[in-house]
Structure 1
Amino acid sequence: MPQSLSLVAIVVRDYDEAIAFYTETLGFELIEDTYQAEQDKRWVVVRPKGDGPTALLLARAKNEHEAGFVGDQAGGRVFMFLETDDFWRDYELFKSRGVTFVRPPLEADYGTVAVFEDLYGTLWDLVQYSNKSPLKR
């Protein structure tokens, strides 16, 4: 039976500022933004443009405990890996839109990669896999 990841939840401080960052800065598509009255929350889903199946569920922190994870989704490690078909195009585009890169581009056997922060400080890899990488699609 084939399986795939459909959604990954990422805890955010505010829906609208997160939507703006992911859609305007990173160029993701807003797939859904539906208010759920019974839980007094929004179901907000964004996805990178392309044919990948995985999307992000932007989950607003609802208490102090959850708020403590905003910007630290993975304890200071890289949390997400954004694959691109043109590293340098997207690297320059993101820089022009104010994205902060905390590690410069690196050419490695598996591909080209640089680490950036999202609007809250969570770390992401921008990566273009080489033909040598088992992750190359």
Structure 2
Amino acid sequence: MLRTQKRGMGYIAVVVDDYDRAIEYYTDKLGFTLVEDTPQPGKRWVVVTPNPLSDCHILLARASNERQKDFIGDQCGGRVFLFLQTDDFWRDYNAMKEKGVHFCEEPRQEEYGTVVVFEDIYGNRWDLYQNN
């Protein structure tokens, strides 16, 4: 008998300095949905997503020690860390720009689609992109 498995990314942790500040940025500036905010001993389980129907979410993880604080905003050594795919590049680009999201460059056309690099509130670099 052939068994099939469904595997995928469930959560990606982004280290933040403050839960409420991060929630505000991701929901107000990027248009994400707050999926969960559950208190736990000494921390909170805070989950946001660009699409509630997606299986992949971002866990906003508050730094709990100095070593973790050092990685806030630099989780990928200055490279693009996360990739936000959209079905309407210009709609999302213009909405984010209007809300004060910092873009590192002008949008550009690549062979795979339209893309622009932006930084989140902490300096993590993202691609906003739409495939052709």
TM-score range, shorter chain: over 0.9
Partner secondary structure for residue 103 of structure 1: coil
Q: Aligned partners of 2:59, 2:38: CA distance in 1, in Å? A: 12
For structure 1, list consecutive stretches of 5 or more residues without a partner in the other structure: 131-137
The letter for the 2-side match of 1:71 is G
Partner of 2:125: 123
TM-score by structure 1 length? Answer: 0.91
- Cα distance 1:9–1:113, how it changes in 2: closer, same or farther (>3 A)? same
In the alignment, is the contact (CA less than 8 A) between 2:33 and 2:52 conserved in 1?
no
What's the CA shift string for 1:95-126, capped at 9, x where partnerless?
00000100211101100000000001100000
Where in structure 1 do 4 or more consecutive aligned residues deviate above 6 Å? none
In the alignment, is the contact (CA less than 8 A) between 1:13 and 1:70 conserved in 2?
yes
In the alignment, is the contact (CA less than 8 A) between 2:118 and 2:126 conserved in 1?
yes
- 1:51 Cα deviation (Å)? 3.2
Partner of 2:69: 67
The letter for the 1-side match of 2:75 is Q
Partner of 1:134: none
Q: Aligned partners of 2:87, 2:30: CA distance in 1, in Å? A: 14
- 1:50 Cα deviation (Å)? 5.4
For structure 2, list consecutive stretches of 5 or more residues without a partner in the other structure: none
1:34 to 38, 44, 49: 38
Aligned length: 128
TM-score by structure 2 length? Answer: 0.94
Q: 1:1-137 maps to which residues of 2 (within 5 A)?
A: 1-37=5-41, 40-49=42-51, 51-130=53-132
CA RMSD in angstroms comes to 0.8
